[in-house]
Amino acid sequence: MTQQEYRQVRFALPPGATEIILVRHGESRAATADSPFPLVDGHGDPELHPNGREQARLVAERLRHQPIAAVYVTSLRRTAETAAPLCKHLDLEPVTERDLREVHLGEWEGGLFRIKAFEQDPLFLRMQAEQRWDVIPGAEPHAAFNARVTGALDRIAARHPDQLVAAFVHGGVIGHIVAHATGATPFAFNGCENGSITRVVMSAGKIIVRSYNDYAHLSEDLAGRTQMT
């Protein structure tokens, strides 16, 4: 009599679930004290650096053969510019989901955050220690950030049951989603690479993390820049 075998099985998308490929935008242009980023609804809105445009091209090559049903971007141009090569390959118009925009940095918008981080400003160090964006004057509190990001994910999932979609977003947003899904501390997953890929599954109101910060498609000189915004 042959004994019953119980083999390991591969993960399968639960019925009605939505898989979301979260792509961090490509590297944006450098911040300087005398040339702040333009603001859109109070958020810094820099264009892509040439490195960022190459990262966008490589992301498109990595994902162009995936059965992606829709491409989402935020209201900030660096996500739309990163998504553009993939949208061209797939012949899709990107959909703007404003609530997936980057965390609002209050008085440190426009590129000032990068300068403060480089200088190791005491307020920046306190923000890191307390893992709270709103240590920065006027910055977005955790609860408000969480509500808009998770609400946006829920809306995307409701539109795309049993489908794969791509969302071109921001480092702070990806870090928040993965920390929220895993119960980690708020900043535990901040710092994914520009042009990296993170995969999550939305199922029955839950977020299942499938991968984080995959940048195998990037050359060594295009990886390793992990600063926010």
Give the CATH number for residue 56: 3.40.50.1240
Q: Give the pLDDT score at 222.
A: 76
The residue-averaged pLDDT of 148-176 equals 98
Residue 220 pLDDT grade (very low, low, confident, very high; cuts 50, 70, 90)? confident
Q: Is residue 4 part of a domain?
A: no
pLDDT exceeds 70 at position 229: no
Q: Give the pLDDT score at 49.
A: 97
Q: Give the pLDDT score at 219.
A: 81
For the ranges 1-10, 140-149, 160-169, 189-198, which has the lowest average pLDDT?
Answer: 1-10
pLDDT exceeds 90 at position 204: yes
Q: Is residue 201 part of a domain?
A: yes
Q: Is residue 111 part of a domain?
A: no
Q: Is residue 50 part of a domain?
A: yes
pLDDT exceeds 80 at position 228: no
160 φ/ψ angles, rounded to the nearest 5 degrees? -135, 55
How many Å apart are CA 226 and CA 208, to the nearest integer? 24
Q: Is residue 132 part of a domain?
A: no
pLDDT exceeds 60 at position 121: yes
The residue-averaged pLDDT of 55-80 equals 98
Q: Give the pLDDT score at 83.
A: 98
Give the predicted TM-score (pTM) of the model. 0.95
pLDDT exceeds 90 at position 207: yes
H runs (alpha helix) in 91-221:
112-119, 122-130, 142-159, 171-182
Q: Is residue 67 part of a domain?
A: yes
Report the residue count for the chain: 229
Q: Is residue 189 part of a domain?
A: yes
Q: Which domain holds residue 78?
A: 18-104+140-222
Q: Is residue 183 part of a domain?
A: yes
**Total structural domains within the chain:** 1
Q: Give the pLDDT score at 1.
A: 75
The rounded mean pLDDT for the chain is 95
What are the residues whose beta carbons fall under 8 Å from the beta carbon of 218, sequence distance 6 or more? 55, 58, 193, 195, 196
Q: Give the pLDDT score at 226.
A: 56
